[in-house]
Each structure stands twice: as C-alpha cells, then as structure tokens.
Amino acid sequence: MMLADLFTAICDMLCKRTGAQVHLGLPGDTDSGVYVWPWRHAEDALANSLVPPNNQPAKPHQLHIGYRNVYFLVLVRPPLTLDGLLLLDLARRAIREEPVILVGKERVQLLISDLPLCDLSSLFLAASQPMSICLNVEARGFSDPPASLTELDQSVGLPRAG
C-alpha cells in the first residue's frame, strides 16, 4: 500500500462524509475545511527484520508481513467557531462509523486515540502552527491473514513441514 493511496482514500472518505473540502497537509490561513496532517510513520521492526533461510535475498512479497502504521491529525478551519466544531464532530463521526476502509486490495483500520498534551504541543510548535482542537488518528494497515500456518511459513520462505 502506497502512502499516497492511503491518504487519497482517507481524504475521499472524509470529504464524502462531511461534505467539506478536505486538504492534505498543514492548515492554511485562508482555506476552510478539514485538514489531514500526517505526522508519524511506523513499521513493525520485527516483521521487517525476518531473514530468509540460507541467507538468500528476500522476495518482495516476503517483506509485507507486518503492520505499517501512520499517524495523522484531523484539524478544521476555522477551528474555534460553531461551524468548525461541527465539522470536526462530523469528521470524528465519519471515522468512528467507518473504522475500516479499503485502500486498493488492503483494509486499513482507523483508530482515534489520545495524544499526550506535550507531544501535541511539540507538533504544533515544530510546525509553527497555533495549537487548536483536533483528532489524533492512527491508520493501521493490514492484510487478510493466511488461510493456515503452513501458508504463513511458505510466505516467509520456511520449508514445508512434512
């Protein structure tokens, strides 16, 4: 799953569900609407460190076993108005009512979570943005599990149990 595909799907879903214009990136001074601001990308280190047997190079499909999480903030402009707060509530409701979206052939789970105030203020300070009310969302990408453990063993290059 490509990050561009992920954020296109998220922005499309929010646009459809809120009826507002959705922007990817830092909030602008003049454009009103919903903003999706990615701030962290994390991959499952264990899954990415699997070593194929006999020190052979890994096949591309062997590297996509673990989770890939992306964190982003959902903000609205204007932030502290009744219209802005209504828009933020519509975005929150959209994510809670549609917590799994399809991106290509992969399902992605959207989870609203708390972000400690010190981390949140650090993000806004680093971006030279005024702090405002927002949602912290985690996009957790995952594929359907294999049909059996044997299929999983084969996907990572382990010999077939016999």
Note whether residue 21 is domain-resident. yes
pTM, full prediction: 0.76
Q: In this predicted model, what pLDDT tens digit does every residue of 49-80 receive, in sequence order?
A: 555 555 555 554 444 445 678 999 999 998 88
Domain extent at residue 59: 3-155
Q: In this predicted model, what pLDDT tens digit does every residue of 99-145 receive, in sequence order?
A: 999 988 888 999 999 999 999 999 999 999 999 999 999 998 754 44
Q: In what order do the strands lie in the sheet with 100-103?
A: 22-24, 33-43, 68-77, 135-142, 106-113, 100-103
Note whether residue 67 is domain-resident. yes
CA–CA distance, 126 with 67 (Å, rounded to integer):
27
Note whether residue 130 is domain-resident. yes
Could you tell me the CATH number of the domain that includes residue 149? 3.30.2000.30
Note whether residue 73 is domain-resident. yes
Note whether residue 62 is domain-resident. yes
pLDDT value of residue 14: 97
Decide: residue 33, CB within 10 A, 0-12 exposed, 13-18 middle, 19+ buried. Answer: buried
Average pLDDT of the chain is 81
